[in-house]
Structure 1
Amino acid sequence: MNIETKKWEVLCSEEQIASKLKELGEQISKDYEGKNLLVVSLLKGSFIFCADLVRNITVPVKIEFMTTSSYGHGEVNTGVKVVSDVNCDLEGYDVLIVDDITDTALTMHHVINHLKAKNPNSVKSCVLLDKPSRRKVELVPDYCGFEIEDKFVVGYGLNYGDYYRNIPYVFNVTNEDR
């Protein structure tokens, strides 16, 4: 599939994302003023969003990375495991978990509980996209870029078949494109 010739439904344009990043960065900077902020980026999907987000945060920030994996049978997610954990002691830090998207919220719920067990001062979440209609656990992200409908989305870090993370906007992939 040649990305230059595709016509996709753009859900979040480059300009909308840039504006939202500035807004989120300002709010997070205000909320974490005087605190010891540690951002935990959930790989791989959040790396672009997280990099752009932290460049919009004006308070000192330390960055760590985690990799998680969902497992189950077919399309049914029955659990989440930590593949690669943070490499530092979280005591004394206010942790902000950054992810690309929250839909079922199973991953974010698991990561929040996992990191809370490491005794940080606080744990909050920030996502680029939120699909509340897909929730399987009760969770509302503390910071959210865009709330979207239940559509299959790609771009700006989100992948399809390990491709398209580099597209600078978020778009809907229809069944005919898959």
Structure 2
Amino acid sequence: MALRQELARVLFPGERIAERVRQLGAEITRDYRGRPPVVVGVLKGAAAFTVDLGRAIDLPITMDWVAVSTYGRGSTTGEPRLLKDIDEDLTGRDVLLVEDILDTGTTLAWLMARCREHAPASVHCCVLLRKPHAVTKPVVPRYVGFDISQHWVAGYGIDYAERHRNLRDIHEVRLPAAVSAPSS
């Protein structure tokens, strides 16, 4: 399938994403006034969102990164595997995890629990996209960009088979009829 043929309709144009990121940044600025959080982006999918969100937060935040995988060869294993840990000391600090998509919640629940092991003052999360009907773990994000249904998406840092991260818009992915999409 040709690369552009993988993409169906635009779900969220870049301008709409930018506006929502500005709104989230204003909410986070208000909620964390006087106690800037450590903003921890989850690589790779949330990189663009984390950087843009960081720019929209009017506080002297600290940024860090974590990388986790639940994918094996072409499917999910369901078990998170740490690829890169947080470098910042989280003890006594407010932590805001930033993730691209909240699907089942397995990865985000695991990451939040891992952060709590470091005795932070608080741990909350901000997700760009949430699939509310897919969440099976007790994860309630403090900040949500957009709710989506069960379709696959790509663009604005989110990939489909490691492609399309560079697109400004978020597109629905058109899956080949013979492909069964794994859940994350």
Q: Distance in 2 between matches of 1:96 and 1:2?
A: 34
8 Å contact from structure 2 (residues 7, 171) kept in 1: no
1:82-125 CA-to-partner distances (Å, cap 9, x unmatched) read 22111121113110000111101100000000001101110000
Separation in 2, partners of 1:77, 1:135: 17
Counterpart in the other structure of 1:132: 132
User: Which structure 1 segments of 5+ residues have no match?
Assistant: none
Q: Counterpart amino acid of 1:124?
A: H
CA distance in 2, matches of 1:176, 1:125: 33
Q: CA deviation at 1:67?
A: 0.5
Deviation of residue 76 (structure 1)? 5.2
What is the percentage of aligned positions where both structures have the same residue? Answer: 35
- What is the CA RMSD across the aligned residues, in angstroms? 2.1
Correspondence for 1:154: 154
Structure 1 ranges of 4+ moved more than 6 A? none
Aligned residues: 177
Contact 1:72 1:78 in 2 (8 A): no
The residue identity in structure 2 corresponding to 1:100 is D
**Does the 8 A contact of 2:154 with 2:160 survive in 1?**
yes
- Higher mean alpha-carbon deviation, 85-94 vs 104-113, is at 85-94
Equivalent residue number for residue 144 of structure 2? 144
Matched, 1:79 2:88: no
1:55 match: secondary structure: helix
Partner of 2:57: 57
User: d(CA) in 2 for partners of 1:86 and 1:75?
Assistant: 26
Question: 131-140 or 147-156, which moves further after superposition?
Answer: 131-140
75 and 163 in structure 1: CA distance in 2 versus 1, 3 angstrom threshold: closer
CA pair 114-7 structure 1, distance change in 2 beyond 3 A:
closer
Task: Specify the SS of the correspondent of 1:8.
Answer: strand
Question: 2:167 & 2:66 partners in 1: Cα distance?
Answer: 23
1:103-142 paired onto structure 2 within 5 Å: 103-142=103-142
Q: CA deviation at 1:161?
A: 1.5
Gap change, CA 1:173 and 1:70, over 3 Å in 2: same
Secondary structure, aligned partner of 2:20:
helix
Query: Deviation string for 1:129-158 (max 9, x for gaps)?
Result: 000111221222110000000001000011
Q: Quick check: 39-48 or 73-82, which moved more? A: 73-82
TM-aligned CA distance change 1:7 to 1:66, over 3 Å: closer
Query: What corresponds to 2:167 in structure 1?
Result: 167
Question: Which residues of 2 match residues 35-46 of structure 1 at below 5 A?
Answer: 35-46=35-46
Aligned-partner SS, 2:56: coil
Q: Is the 8 A contact 2:71 2:78 kept in 1?
A: yes
SS at match of 1:151: coil
